[in-house]
Chains A and B, each alone.
Chain A
Amino acid sequence: MAKMTLEELRNLRESKKKEMTQRDDEGKSAQIIIGMGTCGIAAGAKDAFDAFLDELNSHNVTDTKITQTGCMGLCFSEPTVEVDVPGMPRVIYGNVDDKVARRIVKEHIIGKALVSDHIFDKPAADIIK
């Protein structure tokens, strides 16, 4: 692909915005926070990031935000990923590699079901509706 300029970037962004139809759940997008501390990087957080980007795009789940943060203090199960889908309990997953990242997109974000075998931390059962 030819080198992109800032001008092209701006135009592409504008046309994408127009393409997007208004959704009724507007403003309520899913959030993914990836723990990227030194330990997270070593453990492959970057692979997880690329996998999230790829899987979300291939399923057209455009109303999602991905943020990266430093070490979450859970080095032993890095990379850790916090997932916040409106209407669902906020969950932290541990040991998220490429495969797990893709499962989180398909099962949690699209299918609205937790990926139970990788949950590191979630609210106590009695506060889950």
Chain B
Amino acid sequence: MHATICDLITDLVQNSIEANAKEITLNVEETKTNLKVVIADNGKGMSAETLEKAKDPFWSDGLKHKHRKVGLGLPFLFQTSEMTGGNAQIESEESVGTTVAFNLDQTNVDLPMFGNFTTAMITLLTYGFDGNLKIERSVDSKSYTVSKQELQEALGDLNDLESLTLLKQFIETNEEEING
């Protein structure tokens, strides 16, 4: 199962990638009391019927993983927000895109650990898909934004070791700055 909030975010962005999104925006805003996450994509979207099913933990579209008929991403989100007094919404329109948004109470003792944001972002930025991913990140009043496109322009192929190493330093130092 998911260990951290960052695992959950990774899974939700992977859903966007798997829905063939070409443009994904991930917004993660933390304050002392609230964690707000919004993931917006222009992927294939869901019909009202699919959206209803997607909230069911014992349903997955049956195409992604032939061995597993159980979806984990969305149900885990709803379970976490219910358990901790947060809220979560999904809006989706077929062939337009999907927006998943949630707010979690940072002071709730049952909230899973936040996890390692840097590693999660490296996973998503180097994931083999050719769309763009824009990251908007803030902690209290400090923030940074960066996109996969900008990083590719600066580093070239993000998957080679030199790029990966620099990419890790880039995200790490930006995280240090806003968390400091």
Contact = CB atoms under 8 A, between A and B. Distances in A.
A2 interface: yes
A73 B66 contact: yes
Contacts of B73: 38
A124 interface: no
A65 B159 contact: yes
Contacts of A36: 10, 123, 127
A71 B116 CA distance: 20
B173 A42 contact: no
Q: How large is the interface on A (under 10, 10 to 19, 20 to 34, 35 or more residues)?
A: 35 or more
Contacts of A41: 2-3, 7, 10-11
Given A66-B161, A70-B18, A49 B122 contact: yes
Nearest to B68: A75
A77 interface: no
A107 interface: no
A105 to B, nearest CB: 11
B81 interface: no
Interface string B111-128: 000001001101100111
Given A42-B2, A49-B122, A66 B159 contact: yes
Interface residues of B, number: 49
B154 A6 contact: yes
Given A4-B174, A67-B126, A68-B126, A75 B67 contact: yes
Interface in B151-165: 151, 153-157, 159-165
Interface string A1-33: 111101001101100110000000000010000
Interface stretch (A50-58, A88-96, A111-119): A50-58
Contact of B155 (A13, A37, A63): A13
B176 A1 contact: yes
A30 B116 CA distance: 27
Interface in B105-156: 116, 119-120, 122-123, 126-128, 144, 146, 150-151, 153-156
B53 interface: no
Interface in A36-87: 36-39, 41-42, 46, 49-50, 53, 56-57, 61-71, 73, 75
B10 A66 contact: no
Interface of A: 1-4, 6, 9-10, 12-13, 16-17, 29, 36-39, 41-42, 46, 49-50, 53, 56-57, 61-71, 73, 75
9 pairs of A and B residues whose beta carbons are closest in the complex: A3-B177, A10-B154, A9-B154, A4-B173, A65-B159, A4-B170, A38-B72, A3-B173, A46-B119
Given A2-B173, A4-B174, A10-B155, 18 more contacts: A1-B172, A1-B176, A9-B166, A13-B156, A13-B163, A16-B162, A38-B11, A41-B11, A46-B116, A50-B119, A53-B168, A63-B160, A64-B160, A64-B161, A66-B126, A69-B127, A73-B67, A75-B68
